[in-house]
Structure 1
């Protein structure tokens, strides 16, 4: 078969700042997925995109071509509205865990296809695998049955969704093109649109522990993704949220599950509750329930009932004891004052060094490892008071984690200026 386009022509067009015609761009994605376009050529194209950018139309076409590379799910036969959430990732970001059952408590189906952690950010599936018996892999029939019966599913995405993205994602990681906003937006949205949800809320983070450090870049990413969703017929909004400080008091796997259960029981840290409720309001409004009160469902136990049903449906025991670390080490305040800074990125790296994360996709995680914070910015502490506790199964891991945390936290005489957790809401 003679190919209708040439990869070198497509690369040159983008390298020189031109707009790639729709047919050529669709061919490029398809030919790369088929293996006709080589990794070296797609690497050159990705770098050209990073340096030259893409028009809104090019990003739409590329996203659509990535969706077309695989299967597309449909929840049309469920008889329920569907809504989903995607976070760009952070430190202590366990929001999916309380959020999915909370939204399901209102009769909205939440098909939350999630991933694993890599580097300093944790993965939702790794956290849930702390629960004895819980399994991430579900067949499409099991997924549909659970959405019908329970309303919420958190599971691994099937290999059939947007295979072009899987291939391109791995390439971006090793070619210095991870930061290209058109590539990030098309990667996230091709998977989310292929999942077949009717409504999508994006939690786009900025700050030290976020993928996008700069608020302006995070805003551009959020606007690009909202436009992509709307162009594809998915009702989409985004919240820009601050990830300068870890979210909640737990960073790890089992301890983040424990904290999520506290939120579902009507307690938990104020920031985790605030973001969970705000995202739930967005999802419920997009699903046609603008007057729903998610805070009430946390208080009266409905969300907890949905959580227990969701965990049990996937083989987990919601009453089982969660893994606890064999070794702990507590760091205390050197002086009296107010905690003025806890750097999210560095605390994420320290938790990873304790065993809570992985350096390579095939590495195992230690579910009991992590960090429990005892104070957050704005909290007053006395000399000798615990600031945070490190947990690991092997005490030899503490030295490198403590080394990572040097300079990552500060105690000042005065409280820092409070920063809003939710900076902005972005809609079409």
Structure 2
């Protein structure tokens, strides 16, 4: 077997890696014979040198096969959605039960915060008792009985990715198109899906800031997934502003609850959620086209069925079954909640800076071992063109943290003339 340092040297020098070499390195990641420094060096070499399509496929397959690959026997299609990450992107929480209410089965394996973006897993961890890492048998049971389960990577599923994911978060290699593709698809292939829809974010709060970069990633994911036999489409969506008006962990869970119950359905968030859900239903043969799929999704929202399934999922995974009835009883709240007034018209937003401000409050990690404060973040964030009311509400652990967060929030906003508002859905990539 080739030494890990030789594999790193080969990629550092811009030379191609053969599939056997990639499999051996991934096996070392899984077994622990590849050290953290070596994993970080490999990630940096890939970041700067890149991978060819065959290398990308080989890395994705090797990571998917580093643990168990699930097989399902269910009366409906097994579907999933994944986002490349953004600010205020809590779509997964309402979307999984919405699709389940329409007849799909959604075994969603999510990650914790990565770089400046929030993680679905960290959001769910703010729900008391919710088990984000149940055993595979519990995961399978909940998906079969409830219709959906949102959990983190277990030790059995794509363990090589789990290790590399944490290293990328703290080594400045998050934005690598090759590593993003392999990380996302290794988990999805291991989950045994029938169809996948990707939400590729583009804009100031995305890892892919330019449209060209977003298209390249969408093409990469659709191509690699197709080569592995997984039907996949991608939507490129706007992240020049927070998708929801909340950014944090518990505050985003509260936002998702408001969305499910109808207390608040902001247009951009609603449009992206419906578009992704419609792609999932059509991919699984649960609707003939996206128009019919959208109607079905709106119906399960309005009837309350999607909210019921969310409650059932939370209860089945150890959380409070009455969370939707009494969210303030269960979701932790920050002791300092400071309104920040809006002065002027919002001409632009450095959305990434808002994500970094959440981390500065303690709502994300600087090191892999850092604890996350689920209480902190922002709510009622202003959007492009807003000219009255709040810039946002800071949720902080103390006054000093609130002072820093307020300054960061003000610095993230540019005031001037109202901008042209970009559509929430920029374009679609994929067959069909």
Q: Which residue is equivalent to 2:362?
A: 355
**Mapping for residues 186-265 of structure 1, pairs under 5 Å:** 186-265=182-261
1:299 aligns with 2:302: yes
Distance 1:167 1:274, change over 3 A: same
Q: CA, structure 1 residues 48+316, in 2 after alignment: closer, same or farther (shift >3 Å)?
A: closer
The aligned counterpart of 1:411 is: 415
In 1, Cα distance between equivalents of 2:42 and 2:359: 33
Aligned equivalents of 1:327, 1:234: Cα separation in 2:
46
- How many aligned positions are there? 418
Corresponding position: 1:333 with 2:342: yes
Kindly indicate whether the alpha-carbon contact (under 8 Å) linking 1:14 and 1:52 is maintained by their aligned counterparts in 2: yes
Residue correspondence of structure 1 range 143-162 to structure 2 within 5 A: 143-162=139-158
2:197 partner SS:
strand
What pairs up with 1:72-221 in 2 under 5 angstroms? 72-75=69-72, 77-173=73-169, 176-221=172-217
Q: From the superposition, tell whether residues 39 and 129 of structure 1 become closer, same or farther in structure 2 (CA, over 3 Å).
A: closer
Find out whether 1:425 has 2:428 as its counterpart: yes
Tell me the SS of whatever aligns to 1:112.
strand
Contact 1:91 1:122 in 2 (8 A): yes
Q: Normalising to structure 2: TM-score of the pair?
A: 0.89
In terms of Rg, which structure is larger? 1
The alpha carbon displacement at 1:172 in A equals: 4.0
**Residue number among 375, 388, 391 corresponding to 1:387 in the alignment:** 391
Matches within 5 A, 1:31-50: 31-35=28-32, 45-50=42-47
Does the aligned pair in 1 maintain the 2:114–2:169 contact within 8 Å? no
Higher deviation after alignment, 123-132 or 59-68: 123-132
| Cα root mean square deviation, aligned | 2.4
Alpha-carbon deviations, 1:103-148, whole Å to 9, x = none?
0001111111122225532221222233333322322222122112
Check if 1:377 corresponds to 2:374.
no
Residue 328 of structure 1 deviates from its aligned partner by: 1.7
Q: What per-residue deviation string (whole Å, max 9, x for no partner) do you get for residues 2-61 of structure 1?
A: x3x455664555455443333333333334544555656555554443333222112111
Cα distance, 1:275 vs. partner?
A: 0.8
1:292-320 deviation line (CA, Å, top 9, x unaligned): 32122222222112112222222222223
Shift of 1:422: 1.4
Q: CA deviation at 1:239?
A: 1.0
Seen in structure 2, the aligned counterparts of structure 1 residues 416 and 20 have a Cα distance that, compared at 3 Å, is: same
Q: 2-side partners of 1:89 and 1:64: how far apart?
A: 22
Q: Residue 199 of structure 2 contacts residue 237 of structure 2 at CA under 8 Å; is this kept in 1?
A: yes
Q: Distance in 1 between matches of 2:35 and 2:308?
A: 50
Unaligned runs of 5+ in 1: none
Which of 315, 318, 329 is the aligned partner of 1:315? 318
8 Å CA contact 1:205, 1:218 repeated in 2: yes
Cα pair distance change 1:398/1:289, threshold 3 Å: same
Asked whether the 8 Å contact 2:115–2:170 carries over to 1, the reply is no
Alignment gaps of 5+ in structure 2: none
Once structures 1 and 2 are overlaid, which stretch shifts more, 62-71 or 273-282?
62-71
For residues 270 and 195 of structure 2, the distance between their equivalents in structure 1, rounded to whole angstroms, comes to: 22
Give the match's secondary structure for 1:78. Answer: coil
Task: State the alpha-carbon separation in 1 of the partners of residues 236 and 176 from structure 2.
Answer: 18
Q: Closer, same or farther in 2 for the Cα pair 1:16/1:362, shift >3 Å?
A: closer
> Aligned equivalents of 2:401 and 2:102: distance in 1?
44
Could you say what secondary structure the match of 2:265 adopts? coil
Q: Is the 8 A contact 1:259 1:268 kept in 2?
A: no
Q: Is the 8 A contact 2:153 2:162 kept in 1?
A: no
| Aligned residue among 3, 25, 31 for 2:22 | 25
Aligned-partner Cα distance in 2 for 1:186–1:144 = 24
Measured after TM superposition, the shift of residue 224 of structure 1 is 0.8
Task: Give the direction of change, closer, same or farther, for the CA distance of 1:274–1:118 in structure 2 (3 Å limit).
Answer: same
Q: 1:15 to 1:139 in 2, by over 3 A?
A: closer
Aligned to 1:344: 351
Residues 378 and 101 from structure 1, CA distance in 2 versus in 1: closer, same or farther, beyond 3 angstroms? same
